[in-house]
Amino acid sequence: MSYVSNRVLKINVGFLLADGPGHSHETTFDVPEIRVADDLTLAYVRGSMRLSRTKEGILLQGQLDVGIRGECYRCLDPVTQNVTLELEELYLYPPQPGAELVVDDTAILDLAPLLRDEALIVASRGWLCQVDCKGLCQNCGTNLNHAACDCAVEDIDPRLAQLKKLLK
C-alpha cells in the first residue's frame, strides 16, 4: 500500500509566530490515504482550519472530515467510517516541559498526534458493516453475512432449558 507522507500534517507557522498575537491564517486539507501513526491509517483528511496566534502559542480551530478504517465489531469485515472531527486546541509556544501539543523551536506544528488521538477516541465506539449485520457463527466462525453454515446449534444453557419447552 502507498500512503501520502504524514509530513503534510506538519505546518510551518513561523510567519504567525513572527507576526505576533492577534494574527491568523486559514489552511485547508484535501489529503488522500495517509498513515497518521503506526496504529492508524486514515482513508482521507479534508477540511479547513484557522490558526490564530495568541500570547500562549497557536490556537487551532476547525473541522476535518476523516475516513477511519476499522472492523465491524460483529463480523470483522473491513469498514471505513466517515467522521467529522471538531478541533479546537492550543499548541504552546515556546514549548513547555510535559506539554503534549507544542510548536517546536523550528516553528513546526504537528497535527498528526492530535488527529490520532481524536480518531482513536471516535473509533473506540466500534461500527457495524451494515445495520442488520448477522455476525459470525459462534461454533465454526463463518461470516453469516456471506454464507450460511452447517452447524446445528442446540447448545442451550441448562438454566434456560425449561423455556425451550414452552416453544413446543
Residue appearing with cell numbers 434456560: 160
Mean pLDDT of the residues in the chain: 91
Q: Per-residue pLDDT for 154 more than 70?
A: no
More confidently predicted of 3 and 138: 138
HEC-encoded secondary structure of 35-96: EEECCEEEEEEEEEEEEEECCCEEEEEEEEEEEEEEEECCCCCEEEEEEEEEEEEEEECCCC
Q: Give the pLDDT mean for 76-100.
A: 94
Residue appearing with cell numbers 477540511: 47
Q: Give the pLDDT mean for 136-153.
A: 86
What tens digit of pLDDT does each residue of 14-71 get? 999 999 899 999 999 999 999 999 989 999 999 999 999 999 999 999 999 999 988 9
- pLDDT above 90 coverage of the chain, percent: 70
Q: What is the pLDDT of residue 167?
A: 74
More confidently predicted of 159 and 15: 15
Q: Per-residue pLDDT for 130 more than 80?
A: yes
Domain locations in the chain as residue ranges: 6-133, 134-168
Quote the pTM value.
0.79
Q: What is the pLDDT of residue 166?
A: 79
Q: Which three cell numbers stand for residue 103?
A: 510548536
Distances (CA, A) of 113 to 9, 70, 97, 129, 131: 9, 19, 17, 27, 32
Q: What is the pLDDT of residue 151?
A: 81
Specify the pairing of strand 40-53 against strand 34-37. antiparallel
